[in-house]
Every structure is written in structure tokens, then in C-alpha cells.
Structure 1
Amino acid sequence: MFNLFRSARKYTLRSVAVISMLALASCDVAINGANSGPTINTNAPVPVALLVPSGSGQAGDDVLARSLENAARLAMSELQGVQIDLRVYSTAGNAQQAASQTTQAINDGARIILGPVYAEAANAAGVAASARNINVLSFSNNTTIAGGNVFVLGPTFQNTANRLMRFAGSQGKTSVVVVHSNDVAGQIGRNAIQAAGQISSASVTGVVPYELSQQDVVAAIPTVTSTVRSVNADTVFLTATTSGALPLFAQLLPEAGVRPGEVQYIGLTRWDIPTQTLDLPGVQGGWFALPDPTLSQRFASRYQAAYGTSPHPIGGLAFDGIAAIGALVANGQSNALTGGALTQSAGFQGVSGVFRLLPDGTNERGLAVATIQNRQVVVIDPAPRSFSGAGF
């Protein structure tokens, strides 16, 4: 198990960088107001710049870049009465090139920037675009770069924590112990769960950190156990990933007496990927959040039919960006790409359900709550289809 955990840890640290969870200072630009952003000619194709991470020398970045462009073009093909002039720019996954490519895209006429992926690059693109009053819809999920003219389209820990804590409260849960890795991602996750506790009848009553090593995870087990007992917790909320510490916790906590049948386990990350995780005894009956499975599968099928392969896990974010732009432009208003328009409260329909951009640059997405029963994923609370429904 040690070798498995060690290799998983390397993957986790890399994935943290890939999905942009590194802490950064937010763009030093003006707060995004209702009138911030350019005017557009809705009678002509709308120039949109797509910034992708190709050119970095990493094969994974090229795969992701292709998927993002494919998804964007698939979205364009499904727009009704709206034309997009999409131009693609390579950032090589770094901040300096992202900034220069953003400037070039705006010089070429871009009225909005879609991308980049990595937080550092998105931050740099935001700074470059702010000088020209252009908004950036980045594919990052790093909320520390959100704000001003930068929006993050990636799913956020806060959105997931809010959904799960509200659901826990609705199910009569009241006392939650948070178990988090003591790195940047784990600390952001802890903060998100604690903040979610302020809007739920389920409260955080204990917090247990751990370092990312097998030894430290094992050493944390008695502390978690004693904390659960001392605060009479009915719920344990884990930030651990399936490729990191989750398999250890799923085995060792039940063995130590924190049994899933007596204490509700909740995960801040997806527990259904990879599918081998479903075989772990400790995750049976646990709760986690995920996008609407039916809508996600429909997108994957359309993408497969169009391109002969499956989309990248975050490729759909480019579809969402084009869908949002298309919906706004379809209204025929010259201010369609301003901050006020982008943050309209009704939101947009994306590949995996309803989502909206918030004035602080973050986003809110409709998520389903699922559990694992007999090694199968079962949705126990469907994703809301609008922002007026249950789940928000």
C-alpha cells in the first residue's frame, strides 16, 4: 500500500498544479462592475479568443488543448442565430506567453478571452486584458485569481462544500469533523467546508489536519477517532482524493471504530473516479457531489460522435464558455459581454447542467449528490435544473 500511496501522492501534487489550485495573489484590477467590458456588434460574428496550453512540450497539454478547441467548436455548431469568430492562441502553459497572447488576441479584435487553464497563466491574461477593458473566462478553478475582469469556470471547492453541507443539514446531520490534508488544496477545502457550515444546519465541530505521507495519515487516525467521539460527530467530511489518501482513510477509519453505518462519510472530491474506488468498503454509503450524470453523458456522446474520442475531463468548460457567450449575444444587446451581463442571475445551461458566474469572479453550478451502494454510484439528490430549485 505504501508504494501505491507514494505514487498517488505524486499524481495528486501534479494534478493540483494542473487544475490550478496553487495560491496566487488575485489580479490587481478594478472590481468587475455592470458596465465593465467592451461593446459588441451583434450583427457581425463575435470575435472570441480561445487560449489553450499547447506548445508546452507536455503531451497532456496538447491533448487538453485539442479537447478544449473541439468542445468550443461543438458548442458553436449548436448555437442558434449567433456567429462566433473563434481564434485559437497557444500559451505553452506559462504566464508570460499567456499575457503576450492575450494582448495579441485583443489587438486582433477579440472581445472576450476564453481560457487559459492554469492559474498563473489566467492571472497574467487577466492583467493584460484589464488594461483593454476585456473580460476573461478562465478554465481555472483557483478562486484566488477570481475577481476584477477574471472569472473562473472550473468547479470550485466552495460550490461543492455548499451543496454537500446543505444536503447534510437537510438529512438531520448536525456535527461535522473535517479531515484535511495540510497543503494548499486541503486548506482551501477546509476553509470551504467551514464557510459552508455557516449556511447549513450542519456545523463544523472539529478539524483534523494531516500531512501527505502514509506515515502521517496513519498517525492521524487516532486523532480523527478521538475527535469524532469527543464532539459526538455524526459526519466526517474528507478532502482526500481517490488518488491520494482516501483509500487509506477508507480502510483505517472503519477499522478504528469510525464505522460508515454509524457516522456519515462525505467527500469533497469525486469518489467515482477511478472506478476501482467503488470497491473500497469504507466508501460504501458515502456522499459526494458530481455534475448531472445524464447531461454529462449526453455531452460525451455528442463529442464522441463528432471527434471519435472522449472529451478531456475539463474539456467541457470550453463548451460552457461558448454557450454562455452565445446565450448573451443572442439577446442582441451591445453590452452582452460586460460584467453585468456575464453575472446575470438566471445563469446558463452548460454541458453538465446549470451554472452562473458570480460578481466575485467565482461560479455556482448545479450538482447532484450521489452515494455508493453495492459498488455502484447512485444519485440520491438530483442536480437542480435552475437556480430557483432545491439544491441552492
Structure 2
Amino acid sequence: MVRKSLVQKYPVRRSHLLSSGALLATLALLGCAGQAPNSPYGYSPSFLGAGPAPAPLAAAGPSIGKTSGNVLLLLPLSGPLAPVGQAMENAAKLVFPQGSAPSLDIRDTAGTPDGAAAAAQAGIAAGDGIILGPLTAVETRAVAPLAQKSGVNMLSFSNDATLAQPGIWPLGITPGQQVRRVVQAAADSGRTQLAALLPDSDFGHSLASAISAATASLSEPAPQITFYPQDFNGLNRAVNQMSDFADRGQGLEDQIKAAQDLGTPAGRLKAHELQHQQIPPPSFNALFIGATDGNTLAELANFLPYYDVNPPQVQYLGPEIWSTLAPQMAHQSVFLGALYAAPDPAAAAAFDAKYQTAYGSAPPAIADVAFDAAALAKMAASSGGYTSTVLTAPAGFTGTDGVLLLQPDGQVRRGLAVFKIAPGVPVIASAAPTQLSQPGN
């Protein structure tokens, strides 16, 4: 079946660079506790065009969800996250202007689990047929049991993949989605011995789980994972440990010193020869670096070469948030050629333009999640209802950030591009796929 683009049906997107450090700090609250924020590239979906609803997948079981009703939009319209909630409401209204049918039922969660649960209960009682939101993982956990008990499907705005279950789809870009794409790209170029240097945080451990899963799915050796604390000395120790420099480099240095200590012409000649030997490469040929801030990356730009963990012997990989750090990284020669997975910003140009025209400012990073969720809900309403049969259409969806596929178990697959850090601006090293398929298809 032909896939219809959400941005074609509802032309609009937002600026990929966050407008202020304050907004970046706010977005850090959006994922599961301790996670890095959704990057400026947020998220995206798409939906099948007009025509009969697709047949349900054989393994999906009975269809879940309502076939009619208004669209319940749960957002923090008061409290610290109110500016983010307002921008997301604005984005959803581009799809559901006043007087549209079905209509948006917008309810304030105040950014708290109790507020989200109360708002969800009120919307469900009013007969709403699908839930868009809420924004954070803790709110989603409070709403999910209510949605499932009432048979109402939910498109959460969180990027916490652990929330996924039948009828509950987290739409933010997850650690697993970005890791799988960039690890696959590395494997395609022969980089199959993977190590990882990750922050000792919830986000770092989420990346570690995703990296282990990705390498296992590719039948690669188990990754060598090292966690670092958030301090200068701890980062230095972690890089030293990961590099195995004591065995690779220290042995050569000890040989040079021993030859020099002989104090003979033969010893000096031996030391001279040893000084021109290259330190053996590390035991891995790809390194996933989980740093999400400029200061840590600047420190690593010194530590990694010092311990001889360098390109071209080692291909650096990183998280999607590098899309915001790329200009800074481009000034550090060691990171030129590093890869990360993210949506292709070209896919969201129409959304950016429409939001700018409607509201007089560029949309913030997370607004595209609300826009795509709203567009998906509106298309579903006209194609059989908000059921899992419709939402898990095998052809998938295309939206502001590319191809997206909702799976019956609540997991979300996403078609991301792979970018390479280069002088000036990043370049696309591997284009985003134009289609995905349900597992087993």
C-alpha cells in the first residue's frame, strides 16, 4: 500500500538548534529520570493514505483501542514545563484547528503524575478515543494503567522505551533507536569490535543495554563497556582503563627505558628503533562515546589521543544529541569523521515553516512529536479508528523526522540517517531509509 506523508497532508517544523540553555535544561526533564533530553530532532511518524485499514498482523492478537471519539491531549500547561507544553499544544492545533472533527480535548497535567492521571480520567470519562501524551515518563506511567483498563490507546511523548507495551507507544527517539542505526552503519564498514565509554547515569546505562542488544543482534562480539564518573580525574581513569594502555603502550615505553639504561651504543640504537615503533591498536575498532555535553567532549579530545585510541584505527560513534554539539566538535580534529544517527532535518522543513508562519517563532525541539502524534491520530480517525490494527499498519508512517513504525508490543522502530562530523556542518554518511517493515514481514 502507498504510504502517505503526514507533512504532505499537514504541511509544516521547527528549528533544530535549541534557542537557549534554559530550554535545553527543561528538555532534560522530558525522558525517563536521568536521561539525556530528546535532541533538537525530537521524533516523527506517518500514515497510510485513504483506503481500507490494513489486515492485522498474525502475531498481534485482538485489536486494541477505540474506533471513535475526540483526541485527548495531555500536556503540562502550568508549572515549570508550561512553555514546552504550550509549544506542543500549538503544534497539535496545526493538525486540529478550531472546529475540526474529531476535535482536541486539551487537558493540563501540571507536569505531575497525579495531575496526568486526573486529566486522563476526565478525558476518558468524556469519551475521548485516543490519548496523545503525556510529556514525561513518570506521567506516562501514571496514565498507562488507566488507558489500558479503558481500552484507549496512547501515544506518549516520552523517549523511555521501557514504557512500551501493547497500546502504549513512546514516540520520542530512544537510546535503542539511535544506537542500533549507528552500530549497524559501523558494522557495514567492517567495524564489528565495539567498545563503549559511557556516563555512569541512567542515560549511560540505557545506552549500554542498547549497545549490548545491538551487537548481539548482529552476532558481533560482546562490547567492552566502561562507565565514567562526571569528573575530570574519573574520566581520565576510565579512558586509561578502556584503552588498556598499560599493556599496549606502557610495555613499549618500559622497553625504551630499559634500552636507554644500558648506557651503551647498542642500547641507544635499540631505544631509537623502539621509539619509532607504533603502539599496537586497541582491541576494538569502533568506540561509542556517550558524552552529551561540550565540556566532556573537549576533555576526551585530549584523553583519547593521549592513550592512542584514535582514528583511523578506531571509528568514533555517538548519540543523537551530537546533532546539537556537531559545530563544536568540528573544531576538534580528533572528532572529524565521527558518526551519529539522527533524523534528516530536510524532512521537517515544511513543519518548521508552517509553525513559524502560524506563531511567529521557530518551534522548539519537542514540538514535532506533538504535531506528528496529532497527525497520526487524525489519519487513524478517518481510516478505521484509533485501534492497534490501524496504528500498527505494516507500511508504517512518514512524518517530520522520517519513517516510523509502531509495533504491536508498543515498541517503535524509526528510520534515522547517519551523520558524519565534518568541517562546517555534518554530512549525511548514510541516508535515512524510506521504508521499514514489521518483524517477520
Answer whether contact 2:131 2:152 (CA < 8 A) is retained: yes
Distance in 2, Cα, partners of 1:126 & 1:350: 25
Answer whether contact 1:173 1:202 (CA < 8 A) is retained: no
Q: Deviations over 1:319-368 (max 9, x none)?
A: 1112222232232x2xx212232222211121111111122212111100
- Summarize the Cα distance change of 1:123–1:289 in structure 2 as closer, same or farther, 3 Å threshold: same
Alignment partner, residue 31 of structure 2: 19
**1:322 counterpart = 2:374:** yes
Alignment partner, residue 391 of structure 2: 342
For residue 137 of structure 1, the aligned residue among 155, 162, 179 is 155
For residue 357 of structure 1, the aligned residue among 403, 406, 411 is 406
Answer whether contact 1:12 1:243 (CA < 8 A) is retained: no
Give 1 or 2 for the bigger CA radius of gyration.
Answer: 2
Q: Greater shift after overlay, 251-260 or 46-55?
A: 251-260
Which gives a bigger RCO, structure 1 or 2 (Cα 8 Å, sep 6+)? 2
Answer whether contact 1:176 1:234 (CA < 8 A) is retained: yes
For residue 290 of structure 2, the aligned residue among 229, 235, 239 is 239
What pairs with 1:22-101 in structure 2 (closer than 5 Å)?
33-40=61-68, 46-56=69-79, 58=80, 61-76=81-96, 83-101=101-119
- Which secondary structure state, in structure 2, belongs to the residue aligned with residue 208 of structure 1? strand
Q: Deviations over 1:175-228 (max 9, x none)?
A: 111111122111110110110112226544411111222221122121121189
Distance in 1, Cα, partners of 2:221 & 2:429: 22
What pairs with 1:60-209 in structure 2 (closer than 5 Å)?
61-76=81-96, 83-200=101-218, 202-209=220-227
Counterpart amino acid of 1:382? A
Counterpart amino acid of 2:396? G
Distance in 2, Cα, partners of 1:216 & 1:375: 32
Distance in 2, Cα, partners of 1:213 & 1:34: 51
Q: Deviations over 1:133-163 (max 9, x none)?
A: 1111110011122214321011111111111
Long gaps (5+) in structure 2: 1-21, 36-58, 249-279
Distance in 2, Cα, partners of 1:269 & 1:141: 12
Alignment partner, residue 4 of structure 1: none
Distance in 2, Cα, partners of 1:16 & 1:190: 19
Q: Deviations over 1:233-277 (max 9, x none)?
A: 111111221356333223321232111232100002332314333
TM-score by length of 1: 0.84
Distance in 1, Cα, partners of 2:154 & 2:34: 19
Answer whether contact 1:169 1:201 (CA < 8 A) is retained: no
- Summarize the Cα distance change of 1:13–1:83 in structure 2 as closer, same or farther, 3 Å threshold: closer
- Which secondary structure state, in structure 1, belongs to the residue aligned with residue 427 of structure 2? strand
Q: Greater shift after overlay, 254-263 or 130-139?
A: 254-263
Q: CA RMSD in A?
A: 2.7
Q: Deviations over 1:98-150 (max 9, x none)?
A: 00000001112210110011111011111222221111111001112221432
4+ residue runs of structure 1 moved beyond 6 angstroms? 10-14, 227-230
Distance in 2, Cα, partners of 1:156 & 1:371: 20
Q: Deviations over 1:29-52 (max 9, x none)?
A: xx9854221232xxxxx4001111
Distance in 1, Cα, partners of 2:379 & 2:27: 32
Alignment partner, residue 301 of structure 1: 353
Distance in 1, Cα, partners of 2:110 & 2:317: 37
Distance in 1, Cα, partners of 2:355 & 2:340: 26
- Summarize the Cα distance change of 1:11–1:328 in structure 2 as closer, same or farther, 3 Å threshold: closer
Alignment partner, residue 40 of structure 2: none
- Which secondary structure state, in structure 2, belongs to the residue aligned with residue 354 of structure 1? strand
TM-score by length of 2: 0.75
Answer whether contact 1:181 1:240 (CA < 8 A) is retained: yes
- Which secondary structure state, in structure 2, belongs to the residue aligned with residue 383 of structure 1? coil
- Which secondary structure state, in structure 2, belongs to the residue aligned with residue 131 of structure 1? helix
Counterpart amino acid of 1:19? G
How many percent of aligned residue pairs carry the same amino acid? 30
Counterpart amino acid of 2:75? V
What pairs with 1:261-300 in structure 2 (closer than 5 Å)?
261-274=312-325, 275-300=327-352
Counterpart amino acid of 2:73? L
- Which secondary structure state, in structure 1, belongs to the residue aligned with residue 426 of structure 2? strand
Alignment partner, residue 28 of structure 1: none
Q: Deviations over 1:291-342 (max 9, x none)?
A: 01211233222211221111121110111112222232232x2xx2122322
**1:382 counterpart = 2:431:** yes
**Residues paired across the two proteins, number:** 359
